[in-house]
């Protein structure tokens, strides 16, 4: 194929293609112009921000109907390789290059990571951060557009094992979907990858193989919620049943260690007593032991690869008290567990996909104590789980925690996908709502929600242009939120849903950017 008068691309190619290392991003206007020329050359619609030059090669992502394809334009001397696709010779202003069009497979994603270091996830350490769950694998471009305007460091690959089971995805698939989104948007400022809510060593192994960098341990099944209401006699029995060998201590030493002197917290000291320490141990001792065991396994599996740990005890029956937080932090530290963030169970209600429910004054007082513990025993970040749409508390969290905060979101991106469907394909949206209403009574079992189907607006009475308002309704949001797995496993809903979002990609991206700007602006 010959393309004469291809001066803009030629200039870009021959200025950068022979340079050592990674070329700087193209200026915005030039990127769009070059994308147009590459689109003509490759017969695809090229994403402007994806164009990158390195080591004798220009790489870009193109769009075909309902699928994407990787383009590799290279000189004969290019050391970049490992891609599988269809290659042909092209002539650009009299110079010969090879053009390879490669499918967006896992193998090509791996080769792309080798060629472009900015596509490799990395630990974020104590940078203020936000996690973007993406249950469909389509949301990363919209997430990046929002985070470009924020002060938050992003985690762009994030999925729990439970969610993977419900969506039919794998840790590697989640990672690769995020990588293609990062490449599409040309994001070079670093990102993390969260293996979320891990409960077993097998969970860790699967995510470590996919090169995740952030591991969220969920020891919730080892939390003994009965400690809150146990009698003195029952408490003593439960104390004796704790895994003291794994905890490498005993009741007497534990009490002496945590009550012998005040715990210094910011500008005040807190003295614990036996009546606080032992119930805390009964409630969280098993969780501490389980977390330490999984952390040691993670250290072995990761070897010399850098990673960071989050500890999550947010899915418990009652809020984590200050004494309990101190117990958890003190014992994890004593057992040589290293963590970068911790998610207590905060006061109030953190229901899925809706705003914070509770007294803001009580939350502020309680959260201030948790911040003080995080500073005293770390510092480490406080993680806000079920953090989507908690607009009432964001200003308080941002002001009190400063950099020591990690906001974790997930299902809200799926809800924005449904908003896009409501705009683009109203009849499909009506089908999804009808099916979600049927599934909600059973699907809600593993979620903390209080929506009632009877209080949903009657969708049959809404004209098409008002259907998106269902995504602004408390009951509508929760019903649609927790039924995602059933919808994605329905043979008559899954493919039409994905087809609608792929065809309307820009609409979905714009909705995500607008929605997450509201999440991230308070943390600026």
Residue in 134, 194, 196, 389 annotated catalytic: 196
Report the candidate in 86, 110, 109, 107 with the shortest Cα–Cα distance to residue 98. Answer: 86
Report the candidate in 144, 213, 181 with the shortest Cα–Cα distance to residue 517. Answer: 144
Phi, psi torsion values for 242, nearest 5 degrees: -65, 150
Classified as helix, coil or strand, 219 is coil
CA-to-CA dists, residue 352 to 22, 72, 355, 397, 400, angstroms: 42, 42, 8, 18, 24
| 142/510 Cα distance (integer angstroms) | 7
- 309 - beta bridge partners? 215
Q: Is 310 a catalytic residue?
A: yes
Residues 6+ apart with CB under 8 A from 327: 258, 277, 280, 281, 284, 288
Residue in 310, 331, 389, 513 annotated catalytic: 310
Q: Is 499 a catalytic residue?
A: no
CB neighbours of residue 37 within 10 Å: 19
Residues 6+ apart with CB under 8 A from 394: 407, 519, 522, 523
- As given in the structure block, the two tokens for residue 203 are 């969970």
CB neighbours of residue 445 within 10 Å: 8
Contact in structure between 46 and 35 (CB atoms under 8 Å): yes
Residues belonging to the active site: 196, 310
């Amino acid at each position: 194929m010959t393309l004469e008068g291809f001066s803009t691309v030629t200039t870009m190619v021959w200025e950068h293609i022979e340079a050592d290392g990674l070329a700087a991003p193209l200026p915005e206007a030039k990127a769009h112009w070059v994308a147009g020329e590459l689109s003509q050359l490759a017969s695809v619609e090229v994403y402007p921000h994806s164009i990158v030059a390195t080591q004798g090669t220009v790489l870009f992502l193109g769009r075909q109907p309902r699928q994407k394809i990787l383009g590799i334009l290279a000189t004969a001397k290019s050391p970049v390789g490992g891609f599988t696709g269809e290659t042909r010779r092209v002539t650009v202003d009299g110079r010969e290059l090879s053009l390879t069009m490669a499918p967006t497979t896992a193998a090509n994603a791996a080769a792309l990571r080798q060629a472009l270091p900015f596509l490799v996830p990395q630990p974020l350490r104590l940078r203020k951060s936000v996690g973007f769950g993406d249950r469909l694998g389509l949301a990363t471009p919209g997430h990046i557009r929002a985070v470009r305007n924020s002060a938050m460091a992003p985690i762009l690959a994030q999925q729990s094992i439970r969610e993977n089971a419900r969506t039919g995805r794998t840790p590697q698939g989640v990672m690769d979907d995020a990588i293609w989104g990062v490449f599409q948007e040309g994001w070079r400022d670093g990102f993390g990858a969260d293996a979320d809510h891990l409960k077993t060593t097998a969970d860790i192994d699967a995510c470590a193989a996919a090169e995740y960098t952030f591991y969220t341990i969920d020891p919730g099944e080892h939390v003994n919620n009965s400690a809150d209401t146990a009698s003195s006699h029952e408490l003593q029995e439960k104390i004796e049943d704790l895994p003291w060998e794994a905890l490498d201590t005993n009741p007497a030493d534990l009490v002496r260690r945590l009550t012998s002197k005040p715990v210094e917290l910011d500008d005040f000291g807190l003295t614990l007593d036996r009546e606080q320490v032992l119930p805390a141990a009964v409630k969280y001792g098993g969780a501490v032991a389980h977390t330490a065991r999984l952390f040691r396994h993670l250290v072995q599996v990761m070897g010399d690869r850098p990673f960071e740990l989050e500890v999550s005890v947010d899915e418990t029956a009652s809020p984590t008290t200050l004494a309990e937080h101190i117990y958890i932090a003190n014992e994890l530290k004593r057992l040589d567990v290293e963590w970068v963030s911790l998610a207590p169970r905060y006061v109030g209600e953190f229901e899925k996909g809706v705003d914070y429910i509770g007294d803001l004054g009580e939350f502020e007082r309680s959260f201030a104590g948790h911040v003080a513990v995080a500073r005293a025993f770390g510092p480490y970040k406080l993680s806000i789980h079920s953090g989507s749409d908690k607009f009432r508390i964001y200003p308080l969290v941002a002001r009190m925690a400063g950099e020591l905060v990690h906001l974790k979101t997930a299902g809200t991106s799926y809800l924005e996908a449904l908003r896009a469907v409501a705009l683009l394909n109203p009849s499909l949206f009506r089908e999804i709502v009808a099916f979600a209403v049927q599934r909600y009574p059973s699907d809600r079992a593993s979620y903390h929600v209080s929506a009632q189907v009877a209080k949903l607006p009657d969708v049959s009475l809404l004209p098409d242009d008002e259907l998106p308002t269902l995504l602004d309704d408390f009951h509508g949001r929760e019903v649609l939120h927790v039924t995602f797995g059933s919808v994605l496993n329905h043979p008559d809903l899954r493919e039409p849903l994905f087809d609608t979002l792929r065809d309307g990609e820009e609409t979905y991206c714009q909705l995500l950017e607008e929605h997450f700007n509201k999440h991230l602006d308070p943390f600026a």
